Amino acid sequence: MPKDVKLSTFTSPFLESAHFWTVMVTGVITLPIQIGISRAIWGPFVPGATFGQEFQRRIIRMSHENFSMQQLRWSIPGAMLHDMFLKDPENAKLYEQEKLTIAGRDVVLHSVGDKLVSFKDADIVVIYVHGGGFNIASTSGYLALFKAVSNAALAPNGKLKSVKFIGIDYTLSPGAHFPVARDEIAHVYKEHVIGKLCVNPEKVVMAGDSAGPNIIFSSLFALKKSSPETPLPGSIIALSPWFDTYLPNLSKRPSWIENQVHDVFTYDVLDQAASNYIGPTSDPAALLQNHEVSPVYAKPSDFGSSWPMTQIWYGDKEVFADEAKVVLATLKTAGTEVEEVIGENKVHIYAVHQIDTDPSIAKKMAEWLEKTAAKASL
C-alpha cells in the first residue's frame, strides 16, 4: 500500500495533458477496429453485449490502465452531461442547485423534481451519492438517471404523485480523506433533509453507485453510533457497490479473478483510489478492513435490527459481485429485508450506463420507491 500516492506520474502539466489526449485520440481511432476484429473472431466480451457497450467498456478500461487520477477526472464528461440535460426546457424546470457549507467545505446539492411540491410533501425523496472511486465524478452525470426513475415511478407509469431527487457533490479524495465524505452525507441526511426540509425519514431512499453505497453505509453506521436517536432512512438502493476497499482481499475473491477479463477495473487504479480515500495512516490495512470503510467486513450486529430495507444490484460479470453477495448474506442474518437484483452478463454499474436503453432498469428502481412509500404510509 503506497504511503504517498501521487495524483500523476508527470511532473509537467503540458506532458500530462499531451499524454492524456494522445491516448484518448488514439483509443477513439483504433478501438473500433480492434473491437470489430475481436467480435468477429471471439464474439462480444460478454454474451449479448452490443458494439456500443463494448466500446464504452474498453474506453473506460483503457483510461484506467493509462491515466492518473487527475487525468481520469478530465475524462469524466460531467459538465457536458449537465449542460445537455438542462438544454431541454422541461428538464430545466425540474432542476435546482443549492450550496451548503459543512465543516468549512462547500457541498453542492443538485435537485430534480417538481418545484411546486415541497420536499416535505413529496411521496419519496431520494438522496443520491454518486460513484467514482471516492476520487472522481459528480452528480452532474446522473441527472438523466434521476429523471428516468422519476418518470417510471410517477403516474400514469407508476403509483407515486411526486418524487424528489437530491444528488450530493461531496468532497472528493485526495482533497479530503475518510471520514470527510461520510460526515458530509450524514449531515445532508440528518441536518438538511430530515432537519431543515422536515422530510419524514421513512420516505427517504438513500441510493448510489459503486463507491456511493460504501459512503452511504458508512454514514449510517456513524449515525447509529453518534446519534442513535436519529431515525434511519426508509430504504437503500446500492448499484454495483464497492464494499471491499482492501485490495489484497478483494483480488482473491472469485468474482475478481473470473471477471477481470470482462470488467473495467485494474488492481492499481482501485488501490490508488482506496489509498487516496483513507489518506496517510499508521495502519492502512486495518483501516481498510474496518466495516465503516469496507462494509463487507460488517457483522450482523453492526447493522442491528433497525437497518433500512436494502436493494443491491450487481452484474454477474463484474469484479465486485462476490462482496455484494457477502453483504446481502450479512444483512439477511441481521434480519434486514433485502432484494437482490442480478444483471445477467452485465458488468460494473450497468444499471447507470443502460438507464436510457433498458426501461426495465428504471421500472425496477421505481417499484422499490413505491414499496418504500407504501411502507412509510402504514
Please state the domain extents for the chain.
Answer: 13-75, 78-376
pLDDT at 261: 84
What pLDDT does residue 8 have? 38
Whole-angstrom distance, CA of residue 141 vs CA of residue 328: 28
Structure confidence at residue 146 (pLDDT): 97
Dist. CA 366–CA 146, nearest whole Å: 11
pLDDT of 52: 77
Contact by Cβ (8 Å): 293, 245: yes
Per the CB < 8 A criterion, the answer to whether 348 and 342 are in contact is: no
* pLDDT in the model for residue 75: 54
**DSSP code of residue 117:** S
Provide the 3-class DSSP secondary structure of residue 337.
Answer: coil
CB-count burial class (<10 Å; 0-12, 13-18, 19+) for 305: exposed
Q: For position 152, what pLDDT does the model report?
A: 98
The pLDDT of residue 293 is 98
In tens digits, the chain (378 residues) has pLDDT values of 333 333 334 344 555 566 666 766 776 778 788 778 877 887 776 677 788 777 766 666 666 666 666 655 555 556 667 778 888 999 999 999 999 999 999 999 999 999 999 999 999 999 999 999 999 889 988 999 999 999 999 999 999 999 999 999 999 999 999 999 999 999 999 999 999 999 999 999 999 999 999 999 999 999 999 999 999 999 999 999 999 999 999 999 999 999 988 888 889 889 989 999 999 999 999 999 999 999 999 999 999 999 999 999 999 999 999 999 999 999 999 999 999 999 999 999 999 999 999 999 999 999 999 999 999 998
Cα-based distances in Å from 297 to 58, 243, 286, 293, 324:
31, 8, 11, 9, 11
Structural contact between residues 353 and 145, judged by C-beta atoms closer than 8 angstroms: no
Residue 11 is predicted with a pLDDT of: 45
Return contacts of 46-53, CB within 8 angstroms, 24+ apart.
46/262, 46/317, 46/345, 46/346, 46/347, 47/345, 48/345, 49/345, 53/353, 53/354
Asked whether the CA dihedral 50, 55, 61, 65 is positive or negative, the reply is positive
DSSP 242-282: -----HHHHTTSHHHHHHTTTSS--HHHHHHHHHHHH-S-S
- Which letter does DSSP use for residue 192 in this model? I
Fold of the 78-376 domain: Rossmann fold (3.40.50)
The dihedral through the CA atoms of 264, 266, 267, 270 has a sign that is negative
Place of cell 464474439: 43
DSSP3 helix / strand / coil % (the chain, rounded to 5): 50, 15, 35
Residue 349: helix, strand or coil by DSSP?
coil
Strand, coil or helix: 217: helix
**Distance between first and last Cα of the chain:** 49
Judged on CB neighbours under 10 Å (0-12, 13-18, 19+), 191 is: middle
* Residue 134, strand partner residues: none
Distance of CA 240 to the CA centre of its chain: 7
State residue 67's pLDDT score.
Answer: 60
pLDDT at position 17 is: 63
